[in-house]
Amino acid sequence: MKTIANHPLPSQVVQPTYSRDKLKSKIVHLGFGAFHRAHQALYTDQTNQVEGSDWGICEINLFGGEALINALRAQEHSFSVLLKGADGTQAHIVQAVTESLHPELDGLSAVLEKMAEPQVEIVSLTVTEKGYCIDAATGKLDIKNPLISADLENPHAPKTALGIIVQALKLRRERGLGAFTVMSCDNIQENGAVTKGAVLEYASLVAPEMREWIEATVTFPCTMVDRIVPAVTADTLDEITYILGCEDPCGIACEPFRQWVIEDNFVAGRPNWDSVGAEFVDDVVPYEEMKLRMLNGSHSFLAYLGYLAGYEHISDTMQDNAFKQAALDLMLKAQAPSLEMPQGTDLAAYANMLIDRYSNPNLKHRTWQIAMDGSQKIPQRLGGSLRFHLQQGSDFKWLATAIAGWMRYVSGIDEQGNAIEVSDPMSVKLRAICDAHGFNASLVPELLALESIFPADIGQDKRVIAAVSKAYQSLLDKGARQTVVELVTE
């Protein structure tokens, strides 16, 4: 079978020219998903090209994805990334990956031993919000999580990312090796601090002496990552085959824009990712909040209301002037005022750039994909700005409409009476509440009372209940599109 590894590629495909022989597995990455391939792996590959550096990545999937790992091995750990701009597509080959592991294929001990090797300096993660096993209501480790409970009972054979990181660090300490940096690349506010808190809490439960050692030796830099990477479809893979002249089951497509802001806090070495556009800073939090509220918050708004209005892709919603204006208004009138940014930050320019990115017709980012895991995302994307407006006494109707859209979406039935495949860790509970009330605004207070999503100061505030109830009733009476039309005209 022809693969990237053994098939001559067309000249227009961008390929690195550095020697892979010098690469060392200095980064172990947990979560070989599409975003990582389009972002950190590509940054690392291009850094090696520019710097002549030796940063190789060992890719690990912990849950599922065995077929992807096997496919990656079959093509000697190379894969393609299509940059799909409004004016055309450019293919890049990534060769920074040196090896791959999977506990189901290779055994857990192989994973732990790899992370305990002396040359490993960074363990990075893209495991989604769920992978950190955090109780959203408290911000602490959720010890009732079945996976965490299992790890606490058997810490020498962990399954979660947290358990594996702690056990690998334990091996390094026992062998007299230094710590590695733990770097979250997930879309979580203050992801480094969240990761550190979860790791330390878990360590204190399984090996109290490890908590002290980790706190003293391991660093957890915060990062802000940005690139729109739609889920891979059959059409994506067909386009990759057409451009490369061979199949690449590991290939992905994304937008040309990318951003990576990284807290420069590494206990061991790090690549010079800034040589290819990343930015090292002392404080990532303002950039994180800007992205979470303006980009991710507007994305959620468009996902729920756009799906209900019958739009399959974000770019489709941008063809509707009401949705385009509503997204811009949400960013500039609801989200931007809640931010405290470094001097000189142009939030209006940022918002307009986001609208341009959303409008890219060459990128098919499904509203359904963005709508996934809303119970995990809403607190970070809408909670902080909502709290700001409650404190200021200012208008938050855009945020209330986004929340109402989510409530209507998780009912599992669209406006035409068709089933919605709701993908959310709380989907059963959410659906039970919706079913108990039917399509009635009486469900709003009960959903707002879920403190893991809406802390009491938000969810039990009468102003929030009233505003969300009004928006939800509008969705029932007029539908999503007309609700959005009236949102931008009232």
The pLDDT score that the predictor gives to residue 415 is 96
Query: What digits encode the pLDDT tens for the residues 453-483?
Result: 999 999 999 999 999 999 999 999 999 999 9
Burial 463-480, CB ≥16 within 10 A → b, else e: ebbebbbebbbbbeeebb
Q: Please give the CATH topology (third level) of the domain spanning 285-489.
A: N-(1-d-carboxylethyl)-l-norvaline Dehydrogenase; domain 2 (1.10.1040)
1 pLDDT exceeds 90? no
Query: What digits encode the pLDDT tens for the residues 215-274?
Result: 999 999 999 999 999 989 999 999 999 999 999 999 999 999 999 999 999 999 999 999
Which strands sit side by side in the sheet containing 259-263, from one edge to the other? 223-226, 259-263, 279-281
The pLDDT score that the predictor gives to residue 189 is 84
3-state helix/strand/coil string of the chain: CCCCCCCCCCCCCECCCCCHHHCEEEEEEECCCHHHHHCHHHHHHHHHHHHCCCEEEEEECCCCCHHHHHHHHHCCCCEEEEEEECCEEEEEEECCEEEEECHHHHCHHHHHHHHCCCCCCEEEECCCHHHHCEECCCCEECCCCHHHHHHHHCCCCCCCHHHHHHHHHHHHHHCCCCCCEEEECCCCCCHHHHHHHHHHHHHHHHCHHHHHHHHHHCCCCCEEEECCCCCCCHHHHHHHHHHHCCCCCCCEEECCCCEEEEECCCCCCCCCHHHHCCEEECCCHHHHHHHHHHHHHHHHHHHHHHHHCCCCEHHHHCCCHHHHHHHHHHHHHHHHHHCCCCCCCCHHHHHHHHHHHHCCCCCCCEHHHHCCCHHHHHHHHHHHHHHHHHHHCCCCHHHHHHHHHHHHHCCCECCCCCECCCCCCCHHHHHHHHHHHCCCCCHHHHHHCCCCCCCHHHHCCHHHHHHHHHHHHHHHHHHHHHHHHHHHHC
Mean pLDDT of 350-377: 95
Mean pLDDT of 427-442: 96
Question: What would the two tokens of residue 53 be?
Answer: 């550096």
The pLDDT score that the predictor gives to residue 135 is 86
421 pLDDT exceeds 90? yes
% of the chain with per-residue pLDDT over 90: 94
From first CA to last CA, the distance across the chain in angstroms is 60
Neighbouring C-beta atoms of residue 432, cutoff 10 Å: 9
Query: What digits encode the pLDDT tens for the residues 147-166?
Result: 999 999 999 999 999 999 99
Query: What digits encode the pLDDT tens for the residues 24-59?
Result: 999 999 999 999 999 999 999 999 999 999 999 999
Alpha-carbon distances of 379 from 305, 383, 448, rounded to whole Å: 18, 5, 11
Query: What digits encode the pLDDT tens for the residues 183-221?
Result: 999 988 899 999 999 999 999 999 999 999 999 999 999
The pLDDT score that the predictor gives to residue 469 is 98
The pLDDT score that the predictor gives to residue 353 is 97
What region does 77 belong to: left with phi over 0, alpha with psi -120 to 50, or beta?
left
Q: What mean pLDDT value characterizes the chain?
A: 96
73 pLDDT exceeds 90? yes
137 pLDDT exceeds 80? no
Distance CA 115, CA 163 (A): 13
Q: What angle do CA 345, 347, 351 make, to 5 degrees?
A: 145
Q: Please give the CATH topology (third level) of the domain spanning 20-281.
A: Rossmann fold (3.40.50)
Q: Where are the domains of the chain?
A: 20-281, 285-489
The pLDDT score that the predictor gives to residue 301 is 98
For the CA atoms of 165, 166, 167, 168, the dihedral, rounded to the nearest 10 degrees, stands at 50
Query: What digits encode the pLDDT tens for the residues 108-126?
Result: 999 999 999 999 999 999 9
